[in-house]
């Protein structure tokens, strides 16, 4: 009888897996224990072995496709057996749910259609002007000033208002002719993008039906002409009386002023067509400079500064996007949960590493495996945790778990992110044992060969960026641990010893604590013990 094969849950944090490679194809015989596929989880690429026997009748996802845990990925059965009923059964529940949601959406849409008015702006001969999207980050705009009031006649190129966005004060041009029938808010008030701010149409038109309808996020009915201005539209020059070449007092829209500046046009020479002789965009674009006599061109103020011409630089905006890996998805989810759930606080201490450096050199003369400073820190942290169980704890909701064993997670950077394999019972292991284990974990992590048993069960974590020259940093706690230790670089700096300034080797350690289980005093006492062990490393060998 045919049986479905589902995406297995291959780690405690896995929610979906990617088929990295199929080792069998449809029609192949499969025995129990045969390697069927390689699956990329959030932490490693792992072999998936079959616990069933039969002929491979169906393969669902292709290589590279992501599949949720417990979703059907294959079917095994007798050769030629009909398996479609199994697939239909697996999909029926989700399909039923989709149908129910679709029915619900149709019902809601029908309800909305019957509750709203069918009157449109076109039928009334009106133009609805909404708050335009004037920058890529804008969510709302503030009306800096209205240039017209209700009842005024509007021309198609009139700027009806100046709008203050999150980046600049800009002009909104309606491209609509008629009477200003409605103004939605006063100067100084804010409106969301796509909210109605004004309506233009024939004089005397009742716009109440339009206001009663819900404003949608559809394409605005009114176009928006925008221009960034470095000063407020109503700004007045505070300098002396302008010369003949100074056009700062000329009434012009910010966009017209910008175009004129780009083209080198003096606004004193341009005739405005808007109300009050105000110069708008089309006036500048249609302007044809008159010929000037040679004598007039020769007259120039001797003190006038020479204009600086900058060469034009043309750049190209480019970017590359890649799909988020399963590992990166889980890192993002778990670290977000940790940071926004656990109240973090940090404690930093400086360690005199002179004795540790001398001890390491002596140890490596006889050790079968080269011991690193990180191995010494892992050993010292494990020993200190035995004396301070409050730091070796975790929050369990309605309980606090005090761990009597010390399993130290070691953060290892890999190409796709970060893995944290665990050195178990680190307090009882020698420095050589810890060094060999960490090196083995690093090799497996880079080859994506770590197994769930390698990274589960930590009670405390050590993250070391000292080898990258980082002096000091803070880390996000590796949940459900109650604390994490951040290790900086060893720096040679002047220190005071016996009243004299001498060269010293100093390393900074920062302890990140979950305040729900670790108090400040508990964290400080742990760091003092850790400091003592590293500054007198002979105690680690006792």
Look at residue 534 and give its three-state secondary structure.
helix
The answer to whether 515 touches 338, Cβ cutoff 8 Å, is: no
Active site residues: 515, 519
| Separation CA 166–CA 200 (nearest Å) | 27
From the centroid of its chain, how far is CA 412? 23
Q: Which of 175, 179, 174 is nearest to 161 (CA)?
A: 174
Question: Cα(192)–Cα(179) distance, rounded to whole angstroms?
Answer: 24
- Other CB atoms closer than 10 Å to residue 214's CB: what's the count? 7
Q: Which residues pair with 58 in a beta bridge?
A: 75
Q: How far apart are CA 365 and CA 98, in angstroms?
A: 68
- Strands in 398-458 per DSSP E: 400-402, 408-410, 412-414, 417-419, 422-423
**Hey, how many other C-beta atoms are within 10 angstroms of the C-beta on 30?**
20
Give which of 69, 64, 74 is closest to 25, Cα–Cα. 74
Measured CA to CA in angstroms, residue 160 lies from 208, 226, 450 at distances of 21, 12, 65
Cα(525)–Cα(68) distance, integer angstroms? 45
Contact 346, 513 (CB under 8 A): yes
Contact 200, 175 (CB under 8 A): no
């Amino acid at each position: 009888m045919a049986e479905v094969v589902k995406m297995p849950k291959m780690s405690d944090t896995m929610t979906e897996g990617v088929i990295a490679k199929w080792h069998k194809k449809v029609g192949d015989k499969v025995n129990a224990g045969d390697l069927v596929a390689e699956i990329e989880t959030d932490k490693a690429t792992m072999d998936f072995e079959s616990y069933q026997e039969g002929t491979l009748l169906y393969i669902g996802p292709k290589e590279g496709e992501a599949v949720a845990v417990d979703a059907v990925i294959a079917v095994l059965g007798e050769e030629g057996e009909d398996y479609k009923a199994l697939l239909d059964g697996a999909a029926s529940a989700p399909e039923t749910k989709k149908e129910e949601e679709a029915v619900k959406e149709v019902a809601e849409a029908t309800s909305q259609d019957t509750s709203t008015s069918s009157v449109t702006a076109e039928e009334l001969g009106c133009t609805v002007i909404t708050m335009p999207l004037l920058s890529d980050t804008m969510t709302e705009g503030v009306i800096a000033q209205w240039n017209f009031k209700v009842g005024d006649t509007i021309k198609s190129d009139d700027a009806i208002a100046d709008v203050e966005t999150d980046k600049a004060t800009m002009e909104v041009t309606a491209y609509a002719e008629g009477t200003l029938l409605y103004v939605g808010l006063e100067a100084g008030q804010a409106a969301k993008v796509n909210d109605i701010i004004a309506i233009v149409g024939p004089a005397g038109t009742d716009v109440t039906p339009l206001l009663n309808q819900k404003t949608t996020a559809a394409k605005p009915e009114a176009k928006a002409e925008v221009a960034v201005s470095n000063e407020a539209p109503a700004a007045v020059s505070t300098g002396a009386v302008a010369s003949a070449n100074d056009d700062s007092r000329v009434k012009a829209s910010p966009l017209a002023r910008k175009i004129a500046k780009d083209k080198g046009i003096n606004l004193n020479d341009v005739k405005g067509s808007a109300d009050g002789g105000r110069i708008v965009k089309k006036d500048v674009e249609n302007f044809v400079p008159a010929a000037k006599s040679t004598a007039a061109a020769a007259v120039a103020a001797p003190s006038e500064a020479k204009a600086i011409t900058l060469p034009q630089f043309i750049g190209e905006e480019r970017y590359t996007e890649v799909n988020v890996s399963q590992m990166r998805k889980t890192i993002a989810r778990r670290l977000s949960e940790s940071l926004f759930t656990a109240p973090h606080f940090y404690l930093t201490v400086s360690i005199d590493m002179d004795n540790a450096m001398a001890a390491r050199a002596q140890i490596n003369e006889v050790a079968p495996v080269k011991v690193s400073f990180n191995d010494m820190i892992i050993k010292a942290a494990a020993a200190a945790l035995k004396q301070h169980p409050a730091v070796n704890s975790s929050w369990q909701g309605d309980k606090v778990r005090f761990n009597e064993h010390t399993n130290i997670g070691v953060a290892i950077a890999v190409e796709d992110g970060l893995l944290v394999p665990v050195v178990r019972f680190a307090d009882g292991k020698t420095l050589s044992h810890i060094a060999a284990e960490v090196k083995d974990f690093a090799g497996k992590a880079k080859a994506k060969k770590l197994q769930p048993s390698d990274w589960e069960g930590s009670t405390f974590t050590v993250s070391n960026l000292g080898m990258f020259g980082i002096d000091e940093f803070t880390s996000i706690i590796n949940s459900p641990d109650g604390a994490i230790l951040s290790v900086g670089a060893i720096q040679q700096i002047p220190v005071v010893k016996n009243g004299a300034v001498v060269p010293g080797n100093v390393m900074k350690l920062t302890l990140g604590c979950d305040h729900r289980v670790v108090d400040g005093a508990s964290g400080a006492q742990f760091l003092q013990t850790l400091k003592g062990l590293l500054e007198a490393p002979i105690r680690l060998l006792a």
